[in-house]
């Protein structure tokens, strides 16, 4: 088994907290049935999508090295994607949303390398290689769209999650895994689906990540382009779903002009979408994204931004007006009557940085138990600490080796021995360290001497708040890897036999050697031993047409008609396959 990871320079520069999600593609794990599913979906898609998809799609298939007849290898994709400035990596199903976005920011396409079962050919809630490689990859060959995707990842990686988002991620991941596992019981799937529905129906305020996830869904996954009256498809979810790509073009699906309002429109991953959004062009997507980013804590900071980080219970960062960045798990804040943050606290490993670079000696090892600090203006002093020059600092006793006591306008008092200060590149103080220090607020002690060195964050207000660390190197693991793993099953004797029949059929087609007798033998085996399998019979029907074996062609056609009669849910797939064959033969 191949356990290596095909790479290119973009993958090599990924930080460790992203590289942990990458897994080998293991191309030999794809069965002949998997290859047949890929071929059917891709032939159907290209035939149909060439008429309804954005022109970049068909062109992009060639540019990104994606074949209609065989599942793409990461090696081939990375070799070609390198020329357009992107890369691709294989992952195990859904990964945390911030991680997914951050991969995009690094111009790396995340591909769930598993492939849907034959039973889920038209649509699967699980990310798979049809969705990722055949849906996402071709469109990034368009430079405007590729830049939108990169920028979206850059902004999305900073979006703050809520605890509800975390629950939703785990629930959707579990459901998608169960739906793609052939041995899952109906009761298990129903329980998982009920949990997803319960979480989706909870009336909770949308977090930043929920809103940006909505924008991602209505553009990158289910976006349409052009006019409301005459839209084309570009979203990967539509491009990779032979069912929804047709459904979306009907009048039953409402078409709405894309705007920032889409951030408030939620979706149900288990059902076809009742409405879709249409952008006039790819550059307009960037316009809406910029409009949305201006509403985020990343741009606005303040008490709302810090409250979002506290609610998320995950590693996040605040940046003060001095440029000091504090990264950790925020647990508390105190605000004044105008809702200005006057005190914050983190718990657990915390790092301090400036301009996305960790301050030397102020990483998580130095702050394993978190930090706390007041911020704001000093009482009775017109100058903020960060605006004081050397003479001002000396006049107010902010000097190394001096004991000092001072009060903030908020009423927070500090008394201790000033031992040192750290300045930014402009020479302004951003951090002051005290020993033998006491910090009080009203009748509460916020910091006492026995806690060690007190680090005073110098700044008057929070200008930015975002998910993740200012310097990713500060933390060993920014993202939690889900404990819910995809299910790998041992094949039954019947499945192994069916795989072998698919393999033999594929070889017959690829060798292009006329052999109607062999086709007839294969058909008898599948008809007698695997009477419900329709896709192999379709492939054999295609060969009987190519070999002009009319009697055999009639027999296979009658067998397919019987399958359609017994299973009306797949009748349209068989009809579409027959139409594809006729189209191919006539061509």
Look at residues 238, 230, 183, 109 and name the one whose alpha carbon lies nearest to residue 490.
183
CATH class in words for 9-211:
mainly alpha
Q: Can you tell me the distance from the alpha carbon of 101 to that of 110, in angstroms, rounded to the nearest whole number?
A: 9
Question: Would you say residue 489 has pLDDT above 80?
Answer: no
Q: Average pLDDT in the 371-386 region?
A: 92
Type and span of the H or E element at 10: helix 9-12
Locate the domains of the chain by residue range. Answer: 9-211, 300-474, 493-586
pTM tops 0.75, yes or no: yes
Span 388-427, pLDDT tens digits: 888 888 888 888 888 999 999 999 999 999 999 999 888 8
Q: When comparing pLDDT for 114 and 409, which is higher?
A: 409
Residue with tokens 């191919």: 584
Q: Which two tokens stand for residue 112?
A: 């769930």
Span 503-530, pLDDT tens digits: 999 999 998 888 899 999 999 999 999 9
Q: What pLDDT score does 166 carry?
A: 80
Mean residue pLDDT of the chain comes to 89
Question: Would you say residue 174 has pLDDT above 50?
Answer: yes
State percent of the chain over pLDDT 70.
Answer: 95
**What distance lies between CA 449 and its chain's CA centroid?**
45
Q: Is 550 helix (H, G, I), strand (E, B) or coil?
A: helix
Q: When comparing pLDDT for 215 and 580, which is higher?
A: 215
Q: When comparing pLDDT for 445 and 165, which is higher?
A: 445
Q: Can you tell me the distance from the alpha carbon of 8 to that of 79, in angstroms, rounded to the nearest whole number?
A: 8
């Amino acid at each position: 088994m191949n356990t290596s990871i095909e790479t290119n320079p973009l993958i090599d520069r990924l930080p460790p907290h992203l590289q942990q999600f990458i897994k080998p593609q293991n191309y030999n794990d794809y069965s002949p049935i998997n290859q047949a599913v890929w071929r059917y979906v891709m032939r159907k898609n290209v035939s149909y999508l060439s008429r309804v998809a954005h022109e970049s799609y068909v062109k992009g298939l060639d540019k990104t090295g994606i074949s209609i007849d065989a599942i793409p290898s990461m090696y081939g994709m990375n070799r070609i994607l390198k020329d357009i400035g992107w890369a691709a990596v294989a992952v195990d199903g859904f990964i945390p949303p911030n991680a997914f976005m951050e991969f995009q920011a690094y111009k790396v396409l995340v591909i769930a390398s598993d492939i849907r079962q034959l039973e889920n050919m038209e649509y699967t809630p699980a990310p798979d290689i049809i969705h990722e490689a055949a849906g996402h990859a071709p469109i990034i060959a368009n430079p405007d769209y590729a830049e939108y995707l990169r920028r979206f990842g850059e902004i999305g990686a900073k979006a703050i999650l809520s605890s509800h988002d975390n629950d939703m991620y785990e629930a959707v991941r579990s459901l998608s895994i169960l739906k793609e596992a052939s041995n899952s019981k109906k009761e298990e799937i129903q329980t998982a689906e009920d949990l997803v529905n319960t979480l989706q129906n909870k009336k909770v305020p949308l977090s930043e990540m929920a809103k940006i996830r909505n924008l991602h869904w209505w553009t990158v996954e289910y976006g349409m382009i052009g006019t409301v009256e005459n839209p084309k498809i570009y979203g990967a979810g539509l491009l990779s779903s032979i069912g929804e790509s047709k459904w979306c073009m009907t009048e039953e699906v409402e078409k709405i002009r894309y705007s920032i309002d889409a951030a408030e429109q939620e979706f149900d991953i288990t059902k076809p979408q009742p409405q879709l959004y249409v952008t006039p062009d790819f550059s307009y997507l960037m316009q809406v994204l910029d409009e949305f980013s201006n509403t985020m804590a990343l741009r606005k900071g303040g008490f709302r931004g810090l409250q979002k980080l506290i609610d998320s219970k995950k590693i996040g960062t605040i940046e003060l007006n001095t440029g000091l960045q504090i990264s950790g798990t925020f647990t508390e804040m105190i605000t004044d009557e105008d809702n200005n943050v006057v005190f914050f606290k983190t718990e657990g490993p915390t790092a301090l940085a400036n301009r996305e670079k960790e301050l030397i000696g102020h990483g998580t090892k130095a702050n394993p138990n978190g930090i706390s600090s007041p911020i704001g203006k000093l009482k009775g002093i017109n100058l903020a600490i960060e605006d004081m020059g050397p003479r001002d600092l000396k006049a107010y006793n902010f000097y190394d080796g001096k004991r000092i006591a001072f009060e903030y306008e908020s009423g927070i008092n500090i008394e201790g021995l000033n031992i040192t200060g750290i300045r930014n590149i402009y020479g302004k103080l951003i951090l002051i360290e005290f020993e033998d220090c006491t910090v009080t607020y009203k009748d509460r002690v916020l910091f006492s001497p026995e806690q060690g060195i007190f680090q005073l964050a110098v700044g008057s207000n929070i200008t930015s708040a975002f998910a993740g660390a200012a310097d990713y190197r500060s933390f060993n693991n920014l993202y939690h890897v889900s404990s819910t793993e995809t299910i790998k099953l041992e094949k039954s004797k019947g499945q192994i036999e069916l795989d072998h029949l698919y393999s033999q059929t594929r070889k017959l087609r690829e060798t292009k050697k006329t052999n109607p007798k062999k086709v007839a033998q294969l058909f008898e085996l599948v008809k007698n031993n695997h009477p419900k399998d329709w896709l192999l019979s379709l492939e054999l029907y295609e060969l009987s047409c190519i070999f002009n074996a009319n009697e055999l062609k009639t027999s296979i056609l009658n067998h397919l008609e019987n399958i359609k009669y017994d299973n009306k849910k797949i009748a349209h797939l068989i009809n579409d396959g027959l139409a594809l064959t006729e189209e191919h033969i006539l061509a």
